[in-house]
Structure 1
Amino acid sequence: MAEQAMAAAEAESRANNWNLTIVIADAEGVPVMVHRMDGASARTFDIAMRKVHVVTETGLSSGEYGRRLQAGEIAEVENGVTFAGGVPIMQNGERIGAITSSGARGIEDEQVSLAGAAAIGS
């Protein structure tokens, strides 16, 4: 599943000429697959992992976490990021992991992550 999700995420990224780091992690936040595309800065890995942390701690997308945090609805996740690009991977109603992207604008990162998640039925 991770290979299929990564392939779809990379295809979406390439179709838009975005050089990203894409991370697929299990439910505990441990990376299962990582790809830092040519041209993606080294810092994008750290940001993608911080998005993984937010998703695994909250069960929310990183963008939704940011919106709820700003509204005062939830507690802050230490070292979390508040911008889009990380989404949960769901299977049969259960969160089994996260897919995150970093290197473009948050909404673009999220577009790539959603493409990867959708490829495996999440």
Structure 2
Amino acid sequence: MRRRYAISFDEARKAEVAGLAEAARRGLRISIAVVDDAGFPLTLARMDEASPASVSTAIEKARTAALIGLPTRVIEDATQARLSLLSMDRIAVEGGMPLLYKGQRVGGIGVSGALPAADAEVAWVAADALSDAKDG
């Protein structure tokens, strides 16, 4: 039998809080989502004055990173090189970060509401809050 690791709600919340704090420190108004390895939301937050549209985008960035196991920036870059990837049922915009534990995908974090590079930086800070869950 293969052992499967999973991110807990408390771990997801810890990442979410770290991301929200980083966004506030930078003066950003974002939405942040943390999903499990199947792409289902564990936590979701939208800061005051963040665009309502950022909610679904944050969830999709997190889902894409969790299911593919790569930062969404990688998919964005690949899409620019090969337009046929636009037909994928995933979002190809920077700001999603997979969560890995012992080389295994356990979830993803998605941030939306700022410029894509800033979204990605906040997602990285959130993922880094789970140093045990980030091994790749």
Deviations 1:48-89 (A, max 9, x none): 1221232133211111111112222984422x3222100001
Determine the C-alpha separation between the residues in 1 that align with 2:30 and 2:126.
13
1:10 match: secondary structure: helix
Deviations 1:8-39 (A, max 9, x none): 11111000010100000000010000011101
Match of 2:128 in 1: 118
Partner residue of 2:22 out of 9, 12, 15: 12
Determine the C-alpha separation between the residues in 2 that align with 1:114 and 1:74.
28
Higher Rg of the two aligned structures: 2
- The 5 Å alignment of 1:73-112 reads 75-76=85-86, 77-78=88-89, 80-112=90-122
**Which range moved further: 66-75 or 32-41?**
66-75
Code of the residue aligned with 1:47 in structure 2: it is T
In the alignment of these two chains, the number of paired residues is: 121
Residue pair 2:40, 2:63 contacting (<8 A) in 1 also = no
Residue pair 1:58, 1:65 contacting (<8 A) in 2 also = no
**TM-score of the superposition, structure 1-length normalised?**
0.91
Show structure 2 runs of 5+ residues with no match: 1-10
Structure having the larger proportion of residues in helix: 2
Determine the C-alpha separation between the residues in 1 that align with 2:60 and 2:101.
22
Determine the C-alpha separation between the residues in 2 that align with 1:62 and 1:36.
20
Show structure 1 runs of 5+ residues with no match: none
